[in-house]
Structures are given as C-alpha cells and as structure tokens.
Chain A
C-alpha cells in the first residue's frame, strides 16, 4: 500500500517495523472529498486530526473584503491540523484543491502515538518544524520576491516536496490549481498571475499540460527563482553529506 505519511516521516528518522505498521493502520480508513470543498473552517474545534493521503489541499485565510490568501499547499502525507490536538480552535480554513482522500485520526490516537512511540513523535515534530520553515519562506517570498520568481519558487517547492514522496515522474507532476488559486497563493491579481505563468512558459522553464506541470530544467528554474531548498529540510541533521558547520559550544576556550 502506498503510504505518503510513511514516506514523508521516513525523511526525518529511521522508523522501526512496528512504527511502520502503526502508520499503515493510521491511514486504513480513507474518505473521499470532492474538489474545492472545505475540510475544516476557521473557528472549528475538530475532534479528529485530518491527514491528506491523496490529492491537493490548501490552508487559507479569508479577508473582510472576501479575498482569500492561501498560506500553504498541502500534499499527500501532510496533516491539516495536527496542532488542533493541542490548540483549541482553527485559526484558518482548509479546503481541497482537487479531489482528495482524507484520513480522520482521533485526537486520542495522536496522543497515544506521541506518548508511546518516540521515533514517530520525533518525526511529527520534524514535520511541524518543516511547516514553519515553509511558512517563513512564503512570508519572505510574499514580501520581497517579484511575482514571476515567486511563482517559479512555488513550482520548485512543489516539485521537491512531491518528488520526496514519489509523486514526480519524468519531471512532471500534477498541479490542480487554477490561475485564481495561484494568484491567491502568491498574493497577486489574477491578470498578473495569468501573465506571469505565460512568461514562465515562454522562457521555457515550465510546460503546462492540462493539470500537469513539466519542469523543463530544474537547475535553470532554481537559478531563475533564486530558490534555496534548505527550508524543506530534506537532508537529515546527522547526514555527514549535508556539509553543515558543526558548532561545539565550548565558549571561548577554543581558539583564544
């Protein structure tokens, strides 16, 4: 059985056979949700945590004038509302972008997993921290990146996230977003989004085939977008290949 949650969490830590069995049980009962439906609304106090196992969804905030800002794109393996196991009510809504399969996990199952399975707890914590990293990147892009490079960055992000759970083949992935939804994610008008998507296509960086996107040359797209994948934390901390500077915190004793 394809288990995107297992694929995703295995990025963070080596899970045991027992952990894997538990995570397969967690996604046992899946429910279909049609495209462009709310899974949860702002103000809801869900008793279950929702996990996307198929399709695309988004986190969004509604503004008083009815406009929408999409603040995250959720793909298979992503929790909609893990924090609601701890926080009270939803401070944003979650809606499907395509037809989705969603798993409802009772809060007590999350409690049980985190209390008794330290590797799963570590991986869930990792997933939450990565979500925060993505949010920081989105804030930076929203505030400072020209729209065309911002959209290119979004394509790089989706490419790498989908690739990490095995949903990219031949440099192509599903992208069931309308132009309005891209505009809502990038914080620009629909006419502007339409034009920028056309320019990316004209530059030969991406090709749109219906609801699929083909990345012509990921290195070129990364360079154009000014994209740095570090915020996705796809390389483990203890991997010697990730080339990070190790800091031994021994004050001034060394080197002085």
Chain B
C-alpha cells in the first residue's frame, strides 16, 4: 500500500508528517483525515472563538492530494 503523509495546519502552526501512513485508496485517505480532526480539535479548543485545523495529505512525490478542515466560529448572537 502506498504511503501518504498527513501534514497538519493548526491555526498558524504547520506540523509536517515525516512518518506517513499507508492508505489503500482515496476512501482510506478521506477516513483517516476526517477522523483525526475532532480529536485534535478537542485537545486545543476552547482557546478562543475562532480556530481552524486542517489536514493536508501528501503523496510520496510531495503532491497534495486531499484536504480536510474543521473550523470553530463562536460568539454571541447579534441583536
């Protein structure tokens, strides 16, 4: 199975994946990217009213092939 690298963009911080994770197909890439987001979000939120975490998936040639993001937008309702 080919290796894919799951880089994380947490707010302004970019964390490059040097290890990689084997995925059989796009469905597996999608599942791994999406299922990682709620857990990572719960580690850092709440730290404000705006936060975005994205997973960007690279293939072995360094080409980005998939992206998933989770965004928090919080605040009082405008009257």
Contact = CB atoms under 8 A, between A and B. Distances in A.
Interface of A: 146-148, 179, 188-192, 194-195, 198-199
A192 to B, nearest CB: 5
A179 B55 contact: no
Contact of B21 (A179, A188, A198): A179
A94 to B, nearest CB: 25
Interface string B1-44: 00000101000000101110100000000001101100110110
The secondary-structure label for the interface of chain A is helix
Contact of B17 (A188, A189, A194): A194
Nearest to A148: B43
A198 B18 contact: yes
Given A191-B6, A192-B36, A198 B43 contact: no
A205 to B, nearest CB: 16
A195 B21 contact: no
Interface of B: 6, 8, 15, 17-19, 21, 32-33, 35-36, 39-40, 42-43, 55
A227 B8 CA distance: 27
A191 B21 contact: yes
A124 B39 CA distance: 38
B46 to A, nearest CB: 13
A203 to B, nearest CB: 12
Which 6 A-B pairs give the minimum distances between C-beta atoms? A191-B36, A189-B36, A191-B6, A146-B43, A192-B39, A189-B35
A43 B21 CA distance: 32
A195 B32 contact: no
Among A146, A147, A179, A194, max chain B CB count under 10 A is at A194
11 contacts: A146-B42, A188-B39, A189-B32, A190-B32, A191-B17, A191-B33, A192-B39, A192-B40, A194-B6, A195-B17, A195-B36
Contacts of A190: 21, 32, 36
Nearest to B55: A191
Contacts of B36: 189-192, 195
B17 A198 contact: yes
Given A189-B39, A195-B40, A198-B17, 17 more contacts: A147-B40, A147-B43, A148-B43, A179-B21, A188-B39, A189-B35, A190-B32, A191-B8, A191-B17, A191-B33, A191-B35, A191-B36, A191-B40, A194-B19, A194-B21, A195-B8, A198-B18
Contacts of B17: 191, 194-195, 198
Contacts of A195: 6, 8, 15, 17, 36, 40
A211 to B, nearest CB: 14
Nearest to B8: A195
Contacts of A146: 42-43
